[in-house]
Amino acid sequence: MKNAFSTFLAARFATALMLMASPLAHAQWTEIHTFEDGMRVYVDSASAHRNGDTGQLKHLVRWAEPQSDEGVPPYRSTLVHTEYDCAGKREKYLGSVSYSGPMADGPKVLADDNAAETWYSISDGSMEEKLWKTACKIKYGRPLRSAR
């Protein structure tokens, strides 16, 4: 009995360590946009990194309804990694991971690391502009100077 209890405690401890090491475990998600269909977009401002004229950010898409692709179990959320051109107000997709749970929790269902080769312009007033401003640390309508 003692051996089984020790194994149980060791497993719980290992799980706790993995959760603490996970960047998602510490994310402070702030909702930045809700679409008419109920899809919500969240950002963790602390995840924004800027280097010169580019910034990167991960944002969370919480789907209104479970999504499904052929041969893949349904997923409820997708964590998207994007790079931003801070000077040119453009974005480029870097990759994503979809999860069975609604807030990037539960098992990973699908991953895509096929980064886009093309930059896409960002429209004024769009959800993408909110993400661009966060990634590029833009305040009062202009980019902050990056530390070099």
What are the structural domain ranges in the chain? 27-143
User: Model pTM?
Assistant: 0.76
Locate tokens 């149980």: which residue? Answer: 8
DSSP character string of 49-84 = EEETTEEEEEEEEEEEEEE--TTS--EEEEEEEEEE
Residue pLDDT, tens place only, 22-55:
445 557 899 999 999 999 999 988 889 999 999 9
Residue pLDDT, tens place only, 72-119:
999 999 999 999 999 999 999 999 999 999 999 999 999 999 999 999
Q: Does domain 27-143 have CATH number 3.40.50.1860?
A: no
The DSSP H or E segment spanning 96 is strand 90-99
Find the farthest-apart pair of alpha carbons in the chain and give their distance in angstroms, rounded: 64
Distance CA 76, CA 68 (A): 9
